[in-house]
Structure 1
Amino acid sequence: MSEVINKATAARQAAGVMNRLTTAQKNEALLLVSDALLTEQQTILAANEEDLAHGRDNGTSSSLLDRLKLTTARLQDISDAVRQIVELPDPIGDMLDSFERPNGLRIEKRRVPLGVIGIVYEARPNVTVDAATLCLKSGNAAVLRGGSAALSSNRAIIAVVREALSRSAVPADAVQLIEDSSRASVDEMLKLNGLLDVIIPRGGASLIQNVVQNATVPVIETGAGVCHTFVDESADYGMAKAIALNAKVQRPSVCNSMETLLVHDRFAGRHLSELAEAFREANVELRGCEATLAFAPWATPATEQDFATEYNDYILNVKVVKDVDDALAHIARYGTKHSECIVTEIHENADRFLQEVDAAAVYHNASTRFTDGFEFGFGAEIGISTQKLHARGPMGLPALTSTKYRVVGNGQIRG
């Protein structure tokens, strides 16, 4: 059998054990994982440096290298995130509804694990820990297939995680890493009905669309992030500048960073030259509409393709719009239903934006960078769902569960 089938089969067998574990047993295992990530940090960092060196040799961009890079501080954050998951309520067994039928049947609706979750993602080794530990806390087994750019890092991390689990009640086989980095391994995972219960893709648009279009296993779609910030005519300049810069510059390589800045023409006349200069000082390349170029003549003309692109880099589209309707129309055309923001002091405009924009998260006077499981208080996230079935937005522990009806009778039969 192939590596994919062998490891998915082992995960399926481990899922049966996971379903019987107590919250205390799962938490004890996660604490061992948290400690081991720090105890073995030199091994993990050495493996990560191999990936970074390979990336530099292959001309990987600085923003993508930043997504790949682990440091002592980042490992501490990852370890702390595992401990935060320990502190979160265990969703398994939660009673969502309880009622009695006229015939005396007592019915309860409770949360149960999904089973075996396949996760396909790219070059972010922190996802390896987040995904594994969220799956474990929610009673699931995980089959992880990371990108080739982070293979050495992921191997080291999973070796540490599995060794820690071997000292707990959680079976080490509940976490599997597919090391075959070829497209074939992903294609094989997409068809593993009966072994995988669901697949969650995390990454760029091409990866996500490949999974969505070709999987026979059910998919929870996490979307690319072509995110917008609309600065309305009434926006406070200081607030708008701070929000826009944070949304683009604080960490441009992630999916909740801003890719297009929409500016009301009245605000543009007063402030766009100054705001554009602030982005230039932050080393952001601007690509603008014709009206934008009048305020920032050094910018590059923006194309249709630019407005549809998730850069994950120090590149920003800027478009001057007439009003809220114009901004809403642009977002409806180019947005990916991820995260959208309006900066305004006109509450009617804010209400319209929050009501009408079709996205997993919409913001009034706050950066799109907050669309994050940690920032939402979920401890960590398995991804940010942009679909509308099962889960939407940052996916924490409850999103990794299904439900089961427990029906108790005293001899009832149906006539």
Structure 2
Amino acid sequence: MSDIRDQALACRAAAVAIAALSTPAKDALLHAMADALDAGAPAILDANARDLAAARANGTTGAMLDRLLLDPARLAAIAGALREVAALPDPVGATTRSETRPNGLRVERVRAPLGVVAMIYEARPNVTADAAALCLKAGNGVILRGGSEAIHSNTAIAAALHSGLREAGVPEAALTLVTDLRREAMVELLQLTDIVDLAIPRGGEGLIRFVAEHARVPVIKHYKGVCHLYVDRAADIDLARDLLLDGKVSRPGVCNALETLLVHRDVAAEFLPGAAEMLQGRGVQLRGDAPTRALVEGIAEAGDDDYAAEFLDLVIAVRVVDSADDAIAHIRRFGSDHTEVIATRDEAVAARFVAGLRSAVVMVNASSRFSDGGELGLGAEIGISTTRLHAYGPMGLEALTIERFVVRGDGQTRNLP
């Protein structure tokens, strides 16, 4: 039996113990883990410094380096996120629907844990803690397989979390960190259909496609975030500029950052020159179609590759469109079903925009940066799904459970005379 299979089996056994915990016991466990993160901060930050030094030596820059970075504030926020998850309602055991059939059977739909969740991620050491908190609160065991670029950070965080598990008397295998970083080991994990109930990859498009192509277990996929802002003819111009600035500049290396700006032709002359000056003043490079370049001099031409790109950098593609329907058509062609934003004061246009798109999150007069589990009331999110399985969009606690049927009767039979 391989080490990966042994680890997964131990996690499955520990998941049974987690599923049996009461809500107060799970909340106490999360608080113990958060306290352990606080206590272990010096060791964790030292480990992260080693990862950062190695990443810089390998030429890593920009968004990837930002995702890898931990500092005292970020680490405190990670511990805080665990406490926030502890404060969230426990979905396990919740009855979501109940009805009584004509024969007297009471049919209930009740939320239950998934079982064992495998997290495959890169360059995001916070995922080690976030995924652990959400999976454990939802009654699941979790197998964590981070990337080599964050191995020291992930190991130090997992060590702190394990001390919290020990303090709470919970089997450490409920949170299993895989340190065998060979791709063969990852493929083996992804094919353990008798043990692993769901795989959730978080990282670049290459990692997610690798997981999807090699997994035999169900996979939640989110290839990339090509997020759009459409500025309608009825937009509040100042509001639209604020949405653009926040969505593009506040943190360009994340999946809910804006990558494409669409502007209605009727307001392009009013909106684009000022918006471009604002963005360029923050170091943003613009690439535009011919109407955009006629209004904003000196910018590069945008092609189909630009409109399909997730830049994860201070770059944005711009197009002038003739109508909201043209904006919708553009998003359907180039979008990734992640997050779309419309700036408009016309409620009918807003309704058409929402109805015309199937993206996981659609914002009306609000920044794309709110497309985040914590901002949408889920607590720390485990990921964003653009796959239409049991979850779609930002995934929190409830998405780590499933509904099952509990049927209560009084001796009813179906076929006996």
The TM-score by the shorter chain falls in which range?
over 0.9
Partner of 2:10: 10
Partner of 1:96: 96
Matched, 1:80 2:80: yes
Name the CA distance, whole Å, in 2 between partners of 1:346 and 1:106.
46
- Contact 1:3/1:178 (<8 A) preserved: no
Matched, 1:348 2:340: no
SS of alignment partner, residue 362 of structure 1: strand
1:277/1:23 CA distance change after superposition, 3 Å: same
Name the CA distance, whole Å, in 1 between partners of 2:112 and 2:146.
26
Partner of 1:326: 326
Matched, 1:366 2:366: yes
Name the CA distance, whole Å, in 2 between partners of 1:347 and 1:409.
49
Name the CA distance, whole Å, in 2 between partners of 1:43 and 1:50.
11
Partner of 2:272: 272
The Cα shift of 1:227 comes to: 0.4
Matched, 1:192 2:188: no
Name the CA distance, whole Å, in 2 between partners of 1:348 and 1:97.
33
- Contact 2:18/2:139 (<8 A) preserved: yes
Give, as a single letter, the amino acid of the residue that structure 1 aligns with 2:11: A
SS of alignment partner, residue 166 of structure 1: helix
1:100-126, Cα deviation, whole Å (9 max, x unpaired): 334443332211100000111121111
How many equivalent pairs are there?
415
Name the CA distance, whole Å, in 2 between partners of 1:364 and 1:162.
42
Partner of 2:110: 110
Give, as a single letter, the amino acid of the residue that structure 2 aligns with 1:76: A
The Cα shift of 1:228 comes to: 0.4
Matched, 1:313 2:295: no
1:326-365, Cα deviation, whole Å (9 max, x unpaired): 1111100010101000111222211111111110110111
1:57-101, Cα deviation, whole Å (9 max, x unpaired): 112122221111111111111111111111111111111222333
- Contact 1:190/1:199 (<8 A) preserved: yes
Q: Root-mean-square deviation (CA), in Å?
A: 1.5
SS of alignment partner, residue 342 of structure 2: strand
| 1:144-155 aligned within 5 A | 144-155=144-155
The Cα shift of 1:263 comes to: 1.4
Moved over 4 A (4+): none
Name the CA distance, whole Å, in 2 between partners of 1:230 and 1:181.
42
1:31-77, Cα deviation, whole Å (9 max, x unpaired): 01111111111111111111111111112122221111111111111
1:173-230, Cα deviation, whole Å (9 max, x unpaired): 1001112223223222221101101111122222222222332101222341010001
Name the CA distance, whole Å, in 1 between partners of 2:164 and 2:182.
28
TM-score normalised to the size of structure 2? 0.96
- Contact 1:223/1:384 (<8 A) preserved: no
| 1:16-415 aligned within 5 A | 16-415=16-415
Give, as a single letter, the amino acid of the residue that structure 2 aligns with 1:191: Q
The Cα shift of 1:373 comes to: 0.8
Give, as a single letter, the amino acid of the residue that structure 1 aligns with 2:284: V
Higher deviation after alignment, 393-402 or 292-301 = 292-301
**Runs of 5+ consecutive residues of structure 2 not aligned to the other structure:** none
SS of alignment partner, residue 59 of structure 1: coil
Name the CA distance, whole Å, in 1 between partners of 2:195 and 2:401.
17
Give, as a single letter, the amino acid of the residue that structure 2 aligns with 1:233: R
Give, as a single letter, the amino acid of the residue that structure 1 aligns with 2:401: T
Name the CA distance, whole Å, in 2 between partners of 1:193 and 1:4.
13
Name the CA distance, whole Å, in 2 between partners of 1:366 and 1:7.
44
Name the CA distance, whole Å, in 1 between partners of 2:29 and 2:240.
45
Higher deviation after alignment, 348-357 or 109-118 = 348-357
The Cα shift of 1:3 comes to: 3.5
